[in-house]
Every structure is written in C-alpha cells, then in structure tokens.
Structure 1
Amino acid sequence: MSDHPEGRLGPTAEQQPEILVLGGTGEARTLAAMLDEAGAAFVSSLAGRVANPRLPVGPVRIGGFGGADGLREWLIANRIRAVVDATHPFAATMTRNAARAAADAGVPLLRLRRDPWIPSEGDHWVRVPDLSAAAREVRRRGRRVFLTTGRQDVGAFADIDTAWFLIRVVDPPTSELPPHHEILRSRGPYHHDAELELLRSRQIDLLVTKNSGGPLTRAKLDAAAELGIEVVVVDRPAEPDLPTVSDAAEARAWLRRLLG
C-alpha cells in the first residue's frame, strides 16, 4: 500500500485485499468510501444479521468467520496486513474475537468506535450496566416504555406485564415479546421533531436505549429531555485494550502510517 502523490492509498480493489474492515456501522461505511476513493485494496465484512443492510462501497463479504479461530485462519489465508474493527460499540463478542484473531495472526488491528453519548444538564438519565439491570429499572419506573435496544435484546423485557412497550427495530425481534407492545419497524437517521411527535403520540414516560453514540439516533435523547422523560441508558460493555480512534479519517491516517 504505497503513498501516491495524489493521496491514493495503494492498489486497486481488483487485487487481493490487504485491509479488512469489520463493519455494519456508519463509521465503517465512511471508511470504506474513503478507502475506495483512495484506491486501497480492502474488503468490508458484515455479520449478516440484518436482512437488508446498508452496504458500503467496494468489495463486501457477508457472514461470520467461525469465531476467533476462523477469523485468524481467514486473515492468514488472505494475507491481510491490517484490520479495522468498526463494528457496533455493543458488538462485544466480535471485538473480542477480532482482538484475539489479529494478535494470533500477527496482524495489526485498530478499533474504530464512535464516542458515547454524554448526558447534558437537561437529561434525566438512569445509567445501568446491562440489560438485566435495565429491565429492573423498567419495572420500577415505566408504564409506557419506548424500547430501542435492538431486536435481539427484547427478550430481556419479555416477562414485564406491568408496562406497555413501543419496540422500535429494523427487523422483527428474534426473541419472546412482552405481553403489551407495539412493533415499530424503521431505520434511522431520526430527527428531533419526529421523535417529539412519536413520544407525545404514544404517551411515553420512559425511554430505554443502549449508549450507542453517534448522531443517527441522538434525537430521541434530545426529545426525551425536552419532554422531561427519564431515560434508562445501558452502558457499553468492556472491550480489550486496543488502539482506538473515534472517526474514519483517523482510521484512514492509521492505515497510511502503517502500510504506506
């Protein structure tokens, strides 16, 4: 991956990829666009859990690797020279597998993870360490709950029969559902006025979210703050100690320093 005068990162994508981007996020798509524009040899990988994912530009593979061991063998077999883990901040298993696989294969790895949301003066946050704790807070605080933790996590709230849930997901939930609920299928980005109207029209008194960070879904927090609605915020899981940046431009610069 040479440093050409015009700023290109190296060989074209028709050649064997030398960079693996573990994606599925807006940051991963932005990085892929940068690498594609720069002529880098890379491939993006998506887990395949969303039926119709937003695909990045450039080459894409979809599906798992078979755990850390499978990823290590894939890195070696494909002669990958660098990995950027740009998966979701709550994709803890993938991040652990990537860290182990890259270390075992001797491949440098960078974590590209967006900054978390930080509560402001007008927010009414209840921070919890995990989904089980979030469910306990819902039992204590909520009667009409806006649940935005993702389709795979709805089951943590399935036995709560004292509250009604508005469950917003991209694809249908994969687990048991609480007795009283409405499914709202949609995909961000979301905007402040629309989120205000949603909270008001459903008479929401409690919002439950993971601290995913980023601008795409921030509007629900601002709308909740404006209406004085409490927010149960699930903290991010612990991650391996890795070199970490928070935006795609920093990741691109790391790749240039590493492979130029």
Structure 2
Amino acid sequence: MNIVNAIHLTKKYDDLLAVNNISFQIGKGDIYGFVGPNGAGKSTTINMISGLLIPDNGKIVFEEGFTFDKWHANIGLVPQDLAIYPDLSAEENVSFFASLYGLKGKVLKLHVNEALKLVGLEEHKKKRSDKFSGGMKRRLNIACAIAHKPKLLIMDEPTVGIDPQSRNFILDSIRKLSHNGTTVIYTSHYMEEVEEICNKILIIDHGKVIITGGIQAVKDKFSKDNELSLEEIFLLLTGKELRDS
C-alpha cells in the first residue's frame, strides 16, 4: 500500500519552474531517500508533501485516498533548521509540540517520555535545551516531531553538523521507527547515509525525477558488480558542477 501518491506536482516561483510535473509513490513502511543537488527542487517537493507549500498543479493523495486537510495530523516534520525553544527543557519542548496534536494528560506524558527515550534524552529531560550539545539538539528536534506518533515522518538533513556517535544513534532511531511501522522520507547530502539506511531512493534535479526505485536496483542499473558507490552514481546522473545558488 502506498502512503504517499504524488501526482503531476508542479511548483513555480516567478519565472523559475522549481518542480516540473513530477509523479512518484512512497510505500507504507519505506525509508525513502529523497536526494538532489542544491536547487534541484527537493525542498520544494518536501514542503508540498508536508503542507507548507501548495502545488500550482497536481496533487498529493495520502493513505486511503485522503488529501492533506484530512490527513495532516499523521505527518511529522523534522526540519533542517532546529525547531526547538532554547529556554524550555527537553520535556517542555516535546510536550508543547505534542499538545498541538491534541494530546493531553497521561497520554501526553506517556508519548513525551517514549519520544525522549527513543532519541536517548530521557535522562536529560529536565535540562534546558540551550545547554545541549549540537547532537542532543538534533535528537530533541526529532523527538518533537514523533511524540504524536505520525504515520509519515519527513526528515530534512537530520544529521547535519553532528558528531559520529550522535549520527549513528539517530540512524538507529530511524530504523526503530521504521520497524514500528513509521514511513520515513529522508533527505541528506550524505550518500553513504542514504545507502546505509534507505530501502528506496528518488533523485531529483532541475525539478524533474531523474530516477527512482530500490537502492540495490538503482545500483545494479549503473554498476554491474557494485563497483560504483551510490555517491558516484549520483554524480554520474547530476554532474559534478558546483551548485552554489
């Protein structure tokens, strides 16, 4: 069963066609790597799925035929820019975001504790987040997005700028979420992460889908004996020119 069906999505900013009539499906339980160079249309597409942008044309249909207005409570978003309040404790941050989805009382407390435990912050829940390391803030950012137990979790560069230990812990946490039934859209510029954790991939460039499919199937198409890494295939498809704008 598909949890996301994107149908002929198009988005334009003035004269820039950021997303050009793309269609794709994300299956229930997938960890779906969504990758592309800077300016490829990746963030615009993610923002349309999460409801932050409205497509100019096309539509997104979620599980069982629901549109965004009927299904938005099932989405969790982990933005690249930290969305936490520095003057609140870890527990207060997660409680605030979970309460936006109607959680309260014992259920709220249970969900908050479960989210903090999953990201390894249970013992630090009373500490203010401005005292946290970069890796701890990234993990708290995730906890705030998962406390309401979304069916679809969108993660935008969740490991950027952190130490290897925090990165490894976050990847393990994503595997646990997937094992428990959460579908994950995972964006990253680190191809080794995508290859390690995702079972499906979509590469977008210049607003168009370049290729989509299973990780191994994509590798097999371009690399008979796995002599090319996913990063090498990505550069083969999108080029090595710098994308500074």
Judge same fold: TM > 0.5, yes or no. no
TM-score (ref. length: structure 2): 0.27
TM-score (ref. length: structure 1): 0.26
More helix per residue: 2
More strand per residue: 2
Greater relative contact order (Cα < 8 A, sep 6+): 2
Greater Cα radius of gyration, structure 1 or 2: 1
